Amino acid sequence: MLKKGRIPTEKEDIEKFFSGLERLEIALEASTNYEYYYDLLESLGHRVVAAHPLKTRMIADAKIKTDKLDAKILAELLRGGLLPTSYVPPKELRELQHLVRHRIALGRTRSGLKTRIKTELRRKNIKYRDGATCFTEKGKAELRRLHNPFIDSFLAIYEVVDEELKHMDRVVAEAGARHEEVRLLKSITGIGVYSALVIYSEIGDGSRFPRRATYSHTRALSCGFIKQRMNSITVG
């Protein structure tokens, strides 16, 4: 063992801990904030891998769990070539993933606000316009004339989210235009910019799949993911 200890999470502390150590192999748990440490350690010249949470747990599940013990298990599995790893896309592709997912999350938020407004209208037994016409400028003006405090509140939030969605639509479209893979996917009938961005950002480089069967399995999973995501965009 070259070195051990508890490392504070600040950039300077991490750089200090790894100073003098060159070209290490480092295993990280693929947690919600792993990307920051992954990119930082990679920038210091180390080879970093993200441990697959479920597969690692199946191999080395422990009744007593501490950070120290988890770190030791990861190191031993990595040393023995037994560590199941997760695919980590390049940084640019990860940023694209987050961009598309943020757009989808905004769509879900807007859809939820529509549902809450219509639920309040039904609660008060108020007839309202069908479909999207309820949220046209004329429809929103009619909603405001009801002077319902809940509807007024939801509508105020809705309009902020709606404006942000319009902005994000432009950002996403610009992002799609920068990637040749997205342009090629859009040439397939039925695939628009959002579908193409989701496919490209989630699957990434197809050459990483060793066998056609592996790619087909991942593609099938991705298609289910895409259908769910695209439904969110349509509803939103």
Give the mean pLDDT of 75-102.
92
- Structure confidence by residue, pLDDT tens digits, 113-151: 999 999 999 999 998 877 778 899 999 999 999 999 999
Give the mean pLDDT of 178-204.
89
Classify each residue of 170-198 as buried b or exposed e, where b means 16 or more C-beta atoms within 10 Å of its C-beta.
eebeebbeebebbeebbeeeebebbbbbb
Q: Is the pLDDT of residue 200 over 60?
A: yes
Q: Is the pLDDT of residue 112 over 90?
A: yes
User: What does the pLDDT read at residue 58?
Assistant: 66
Higher pLDDT, 210 or 186: 186
Mean pLDDT for the chain overall? 85
Whole-number Cα distances in Å, 13 to 10, 31, 34, 64: 5, 20, 16, 28
Domain boundaries, the chain: 11-86, 91-235
pTM, 2 dp: 0.77
Q: Is the pLDDT of residue 157 over 60?
A: yes
